[in-house]
Structure 1
Amino acid sequence: MRSFRRHPLLAPALLCALLLLVARPADAVGVGDGDGIGDSSGLSTQVAQLYEDAALATQQYEAGRQEAEVRRAQAEQAQALLDGERREIAGLHDDLGRMARAQYRTGGALPVAAQLILADSPDALMRGQHVLAQANLALADSVGRSRRAEARFAADEEKAKAAWQALEKRNTELAAVKDTIERKLEEARGQLQGQAEASVAAGSCRGSVRLDQPKRSFTQPWVAPVETYELSAGFGSGGDRWANRHTGQDFAVPIGTPVRAVGAGRVVSVSCGGAFGIEIVIRHPGGYYTQYAHLAAVAVDQGERVDTGQWIGQSGTTGNSTGPHLHFEVRVTPQMGSAVDPVPWLAARGVPLA
């Protein structure tokens, strides 16, 4: 399955923009209650915009979720370091306690006269006292350093925990925005499909709807007909809904998904009705034709020249269709019955499908 490119983590300004989009009423994009091309145009545009917004919101939510996981791991690491330092301090305190108890049992220290008697020499006595003093200083210094490290690790833990909790809060907001956009998109998709079915039943297309496609340059002359997809029925497969064998490759995509011209060419036909529902056929240099069927809306007119990757319509489930998908064919003539397997055809042009 192909997926959208990952974007940077959502900035607060973009989150506000998405919240404003969610709050926008449906009629703000030109969807009305009457009939006509104006309504179709507004609905197609709304679906295309919501499609992009939903993809962006999903990307930002996933990016935020991943960053929250990183922050959570950092907080756990800081907690582990803090726990280790506290265990070290506890051990040092135990050592100090043992020394204090030993001094208490001996009355604090041996009398100087006794130390002189027991010592091998005055030098030995001085050396022993010096070693004891150094040991006390070293232990006290270790306790001080551990206390400072404990304070530092505690501060790091608090910062990591605060960052993690802030991200979790923002991700909760993003999830709500994402759910609202997806709900609006689902509603708009249903309306778009209803208009498409009415057009097919009447045998007359509503007319092309120009979609505001994001600017993107394609470095290759050929692309897949949709950007995000799952492959379903393949070329030559059997089924109760086909008189013979399946003549194309199906791409399982939601209603309203932007459909792209796989290569540059000229639109030779745009039609509504019949088994293919709403369909477009494009002629490419070299004599091959590509067909895009079961659409919900078209964005080009017959005779129009198109570029590689240009949005030519939106997927649907019109005609002889069991569910939302794009039926894609490669033909040697404009008519049905001249199809070749599109998967190796695209692969030979640098577009492997997976």
Structure 2
Amino acid sequence: MSTRTRRPPPVPRRVPHRVLRCVLLRVALPLTLPCTLLLGTAVPATAASAAEPPAEGAGARVARLYDQAARAAVRYQEGRQAARSQLAAAQGLQERLAGRRQQAAELRGEVGRIARAQYRSGGAVPDTVKLLLADSPAQVLDGQRVARQAGHAVDRAVGASRAAQRRLAAQQRRADAAWRALDRRNASLARLKETIRGKLVAAREELQAEGAASVAAGSCRGAARLPQDEAAATAPWVAPVEDYRLSAGFESSGSHWAHRHTGQDFAVDIGTPVRAVGAGRVVSVRCGGPFGIHLVLRHDDGYYTQYAHLASAAVEQGERVRAGQWIGLTGTTGNSTGPHLHFEVRLTPATGSGVDPVPWLADHGVPVG
């Protein structure tokens, strides 16, 4: 009799504690999360970045805010133009009303004159009595015909006066409605203007904080792209900013500079768009040092221009720009005592090769002052 060797029962495989915990958690909780998240296991950076879109940067938020403010400013200007048209129409209506009033006064005077003349000619005496007392009945009949004509004239004058009064009242109602509409439009424009002001204040604060952080870190953030108007500049050369006041000029002396001032300052508010004065290419974008956030362009005629103390740069090194393109936003970063644009014209990219920007711009058809 053969004997069979009994094999020992298989030893159950041990389930790792982490896998067991994952199974228990997924049974207990109505979740469909992967085990790596339930157990707190770190997710690779590539997976996390693919699952969540990148957060909007501060520069992009500022650009978006300025775009909203620009759109609101356009609506404000359109509203102001409409208000001016409404005012002109209301003023014209008032002038026409004055003419209507004058016509009505003249008609009232004519009615009074006719009535007085009829009274003096005996308009209150009966016609039969007139015929009996008259030496010539024909004269009486002629007088009656004249009286009837005068009566018709009086009736016409009274009717014209009443019609003029009705027209005057209708014109007055329209004038009152026009003025009320103008008042409502002005109030709406005032609210819109206040909204723009609040947005610009918030944008300027955020811009300057971002610029100061970049300068403190000594490294520039990515370009904060700005909305561009393709038809904004039609001339080959433009001023670097609009609505400015010239402050420190070229080769000015003072305690703010180690030697002499190397450019021309344009006093503007924080966040004013900075324009490329001409077509060219971005040579450098830097953050830090006495110029704060600054960039240099090389133009097609060989000259270089620098734009300094910015709060934000909107272009990157090597990028091609056109005349009038917004390349940054003004600020007060670096060695600056207040918001302005420091603008230089150079023979080379380096400091120390500058020429006076004001006559240089004038020679390129851009007088500033």
TM-score (norm 1): 0.80
Give CA-to-partner distance per residue, 1:260-282, whole Å, 9 cap, x none. 11111111111111111100100
Distance apart, 1:243 and its partner CA? 2.9
Counterpart in 2 of 1:226? Answer: 241
1:137 matched to 2:152? The reply is yes
The one-letter amino acid of 2:169's match is A
1:164 matched to 2:179? The reply is yes
In our comparison, the structure showing a higher alpha carbon Rg is 2
Counterpart in 1 of 2:306? Answer: 291
Q: Which of 286, 304, 316 matches 2:331?
A: 316
Mapped to 1, the partners of 2:260 and 2:342 lie a distance apart of 14
Q: Which moved more, 1:254-263 or 1:238-247?
A: 238-247
Asked if the contact 1:211/1:299 (under 8 Å) is kept, the reply is yes
Counterpart in 1 of 2:358? Answer: 343
Give CA-to-partner distance per residue, 1:106-140, whole Å, 9 cap, x none. 545682335531x4xx5444333322322222232
Asked if the contact 2:60/2:225 (under 8 Å) is kept, the reply is no
1:264 matched to 2:279? The reply is yes
Residues 257, 326 of structure 1: alpha-carbon distance in 2 compared, 3 angstrom cutoff = same
> C-alpha root-mean-square deviation of aligned residues, in Å?
2.6
Q: Which of 105, 114, 125 matches 1:87?
A: 105
Structure 2 unaligned regions, length at least 5: 1-53
Identity %, equivalent residues:
50
Counterpart in 2 of 1:247? Answer: 262
The one-letter amino acid of 1:84's match is Q
Mapped to 1, the partners of 2:97 and 2:204 lie a distance apart of 48
1:143-154 alignment, distance < 5 Å: 143-154=158-169
Q: Which of 1 and 2 has higher RCO (CA within 8 Å, sep 6+)?
A: 1
Counterpart in 2 of 1:40? Answer: 58
Asked if the contact 2:80/2:189 (under 8 Å) is kept, the reply is no
The one-letter amino acid of 1:345's match is W
TM-score (norm 2): 0.77
Mapped to 1, the partners of 2:156 and 2:255 lie a distance apart of 84
Mapped to 2, the partners of 1:131 and 1:115 lie a distance apart of 18
Counterpart in 2 of 1:116? Answer: 134
Give CA-to-partner distance per residue, 1:119-174, whole Å, 9 cap, x none. 4xx54443333223222222321222232233223323322331231132022112
Counterpart in 1 of 2:206? Answer: 191
SS state of the match for residue 57, structure 2?
Answer: helix
Residues 238, 154 of structure 1: alpha-carbon distance in 2 compared, 3 angstrom cutoff = farther
Mapped to 1, the partners of 2:204 and 2:169 lie a distance apart of 51
Residues 156, 105 of structure 1: alpha-carbon distance in 2 compared, 3 angstrom cutoff = closer
Asked if the contact 2:131/2:140 (under 8 Å) is kept, the reply is no
The one-letter amino acid of 1:69's match is L
Q: Which moved more, 1:266-275 or 1:57-66?
A: 57-66
Mapped to 2, the partners of 1:174 and 1:342 lie a distance apart of 39
Mapped to 1, the partners of 2:132 and 2:257 lie a distance apart of 111
Mapped to 2, the partners of 1:130 and 1:156 lie a distance apart of 38
Q: Which moved more, 1:76-85 or 1:189-198?
A: 76-85
Q: Which of 61, 72, 84 matches 1:66?
A: 84
SS state of the match for residue 266, structure 2?
Answer: strand
Residues 94, 239 of structure 1: alpha-carbon distance in 2 compared, 3 angstrom cutoff = farther
Mapped to 1, the partners of 2:354 and 2:267 lie a distance apart of 20
Mapped to 1, the partners of 2:69 and 2:261 lie a distance apart of 29
Mapped to 2, the partners of 1:161 and 1:249 lie a distance apart of 53
Structure 1 unaligned regions, length at least 5: 1-35
The one-letter amino acid of 2:129's match is P
Distance apart, 1:332 and its partner CA? 0.9
Counterpart in 2 of 1:128? Answer: 143
Give CA-to-partner distance per residue, 1:171-230, whole Å, 9 cap, x none. 211210220121122012101101111111111111212222133263321111123333
Q: Which moved more, 1:273-282 or 1:204-213?
A: 204-213
Q: Which of 197, 208, 221 matches 1:182?
A: 197
Mapped to 1, the partners of 2:182 and 2:98 lie a distance apart of 21
Give CA-to-partner distance per residue, 1:259-308, whole Å, 9 cap, x none. 11111111111111111110010011222000111111111111111111
Asked if the contact 1:205/1:271 (under 8 Å) is kept, the reply is yes
Q: Give the total of aligned pairs.
A: 316
SS state of the match for residue 310, structure 2?
Answer: strand
Q: Which moved more, 1:137-146 or 1:47-56?
A: 47-56
Asked if the contact 1:267/1:305 (under 8 Å) is kept, the reply is yes
